[in-house]
A and B are shown apart, each in its own frame.
Chain A
Amino acid sequence: NAGVTQTPKFQVLKTGQSMTLQCAQDMNHEYMSWYRQDPGMGLRLIHYSVGAGITDQGEVPNGYNVSRSTTEDFPLRLLSAAPSQTSVYFCASSWGQPRDNEQFFGPGTRLTVL
């Protein structure tokens, strides 16, 4: 199993550009989520999904969209990049409810917005 994969590893964008961060898992996990990590802030939840076709907002959803058309994939879209979105982005998944199960993290995407 590849686990949770994220592409790209690094990305530089100009303000106003859009892009999609890819996340995929091959463990048949129902729960998937996106976090961003900023210095001194820990990880904060952007969006999450409890299954294909079901998504919801987390703590910091503004400026991001998600969709979950398959169990395996959970892409994160930046609609119009801003310097405040410079961060490290992590995708995570778990087999069952995160309350009861380990979340598996991808390796992260380091995004810089100029």
Chain B
Amino acid sequence: AQKITQTQPGMFVQEKEAVTLDCTYDTSDQSYGLFWYKQPSSGEMIFLIYQGSYDEQNATEGRYSLNFQKARKSANLVISASQLGDSAMYFCAMSPGAGTALIFGKGTTLSVSS
């Protein structure tokens, strides 16, 4: 079964610290895409970062990096130097195989304090 698991319902971090949000996935497909989205309290879905299953290097976008461990089927999001504006819900998602849409995890709520 295709599935995304996010085991951390909530995470707390202080400003300027780094934080890792966990994501594991399950698929039998060899080709797939992994995504992270941010959802602030205003409700919109904001794309953060993408990793293709054949990409050998971990994806990075500014303060965001994706720690991709293919053998472990994990795709953790690392946010460096957290900011107050990073407080939001974070979703890990996968588009497997034929890739017609996304499968989402249940999300992790990140709270950043000063």
Binding site for B on A (CB under 8 A): 31, 33, 35, 40-45, 48, 50, 56, 58, 88, 90, 92, 97-105, 107-108
Question: Which residues between 92 and 111 of chain B lie within 8 Å of chain A, taking CB atoms?
Answer: 93, 95-107
Q: Which of B50, B91, B101 contacts A45 (CB 8 A)?
A: B101
A9: nearest chain-B partner, CB-CB:
B43
The reply to whether B99 and A102 form a contact with Cβ atoms under 8 Å apart is: no
Interfacial chain A residues near B12, Cβ < 8 Å: none
Q: A42-B91, A100-B33, A100-B52 are in contact. Are A105 and B44 (CB under 8 A)?
A: yes
A74, chain B: closest CB distance, angstroms: 12
Q: A40-B106, A42-B105 are in contact. Are A103 and B47 (CB under 8 A)?
A: yes
Within the assembled complex, what's the spacing in Å between the Cα atoms of A90 and B101?
13
Interfacial chain A residues near B32, Cβ < 8 Å: 99
Interfacial chain B residues near A45, Cβ < 8 Å: 101-103
Interface centre among A33, A90, A102 (most CB of B within 10 A): A102
